Structure 1
Amino acid sequence: MKSLVSVFAILLLVESGFAAEATQNKAKVADDQAMSEQHETDMTRMIRRKIMDDKSLSMNAHNIKIITENNQVVLRGVVENDSERSKVEKIAKSVAKNTSVINNTTIEKK
């Protein structure tokens, strides 16, 4: 009977160790996600600032949507011409560096 109690006690200790490790892993994943989200927010902000600072771009180009998620930057909206389309993509790539940039902007029909 004593050995049975000892076995159960050992199993409980081992199980509690696994539970503690799982909790630590969940906390690390949450921290990593928070850091990733902050990085994405910062990247979006920097791209937006550079686009807004370029006074040669039209109001439409200044108002494109910039979505940064899952290691991708997506540009959406309407620009005046192909030159602006290329310019906003170039700006995004200059900030994003190791992040994929997808340019889904369209040229305004007049």
Structure 2
Amino acid sequence: MVALTAWDLETVYGRVVLEEWESKESVEGEARNALADAVREALGDDARVEQRTVRGHPAQVVAEATERAQLVVVGSRGRGGFASLMLGSVSQHVVTHAACPVVVMPHEDPPSA
């Protein structure tokens, strides 16, 4: 089993944002940490999962990974600004370009207080 996350620096991020990242942890390091946290939260501390962090556009990276996979699982929505959409841009791209079956997991809204 492989857990995959992709990261990239969009051109809209300016020098100020890059300097902020450089003064903390690298963007890749942040992506690696987020992936490790997600795997731990979903599968527990003892999960035996290969974790890969790849630079590139997430939709393209995951779609390309389907060429070597038997099954791909993606979330229905990501971090984009269109939370009301039923299917996010990455999951929609993966579903339409995958070389293997794709399972789209629905987004769980946090419980309301």
TM over 0.5: no
**TMscore range, shorter length:** 0.3 to 0.5
- For the pair shown, the structure with the greater C-alpha radius of gyration is 1
| Alignment TM-score, normalising by the size of structure 1 | 0.32
User: Which has the larger helix fraction?
Assistant: 1
| Alignment TM-score, normalising by the size of structure 2 | 0.32
